[in-house]
Amino acid sequence: MKFISWNIDSVNAAVEHKSARGEMTWQVLQDIAAEQPDVLAIQETKLKATGLTKKQATALDELFPGYHRYLRMSTGRSGYSGTMMLSKVEPIAVEMPVIGAPDEMDIEGRIITLEFENTYVSTVYTPNSGSNLDRLTDRQAWDDAYRAYIADLDAKKPVIFSGDFNVAHQEIDLKNPKTNHKSAGFTDEEREKFGLLLDAGFTDTFRYLNPDQTGVYTWWAQISKTSKINNSGWRIDYYLASNRLNDQLATFSVVDTGARQDHAPIKLEMTDDFTI
């Protein structure tokens, strides 16, 4: 069974593909469709509160025929944040949870959870602490609320959850750790909260399968023209899973996006005996 997760940074930019970057984004989406994942999770859809346009829906229908599709848009700022999940198997239930996060985080369309017979499969777009760390306090409150939410799911059945967590957990998870300890995504506070999430009974699937591997990243800053060329990246996109699924983790990979900077999709494959 195959799972793919990607921060797409605008569904519309992919579907319209009117710029060079849009063309690359569209190509990545086509590559994902060719993989035919059992469940696809997408973050930062940037859809309007009204959802997909007819053109966007048609494009996704053509790329992913027969998939069940679930959307959650920001009902605060339009065209901001947002998540989407597509599944070959229709879930038993779909949840768009309110976790008691501060500010407008609960209305920014950040979490979708699909319940299947044996497993919950969820996606998250974790709030960024901001370039000046102005949202760091709220981000810590989010992390606490999110950890409680996932732990509650895990008490019922195992969870596989993915997304842009906006944190590089360890120094091995970014190219330049020494100069980024005060940067959003690598503060001591964010890293500690991510550690607490793992300690609550969950596995960083990539690091479990590749404990000492270096130089594997999922995000390269667009602001730097050479970040991808030099592989000056961060690993901030994850597949996490309940610890009791560890024996069924098969492979983890980062999908090649060529010259495209920003986020790359991540792919988790489970052993043949795994069923959702």
Catalytic residues: 125, 164, 263
237 is in an annotated binding site: no
Closest CA to 265 of 28, 22, 10: 28
Torsion angle defined by CA atoms of residues 215, 221, 224 and 226, in that order, rounded to the nearest 10 degrees = 30
Contact indicator for 190, 139 with CB cutoff of 8 Å: yes
What tokens appear for 251 in the block? Answer: 């492979």
Q: Does 108 show up as a binding residue in the annotation? A: no
DSSP states of 47-110 as a string? -BTTB--HHHHHHHHHHSTT-EEEEE--SSSTTSS-EEEEESSPPSEEE------STTGGGS--
181 is in an annotated binding site: no
128 known member of a binding site: no
Query: Are 116 and 79 spatial neighbours (Cβ–Cβ below 8 Å)?
Result: no
68 labelled binding-site residue: no
As annotated, the binding site for Mg(2+) includes: 7, 44, 164, 166, 262-263
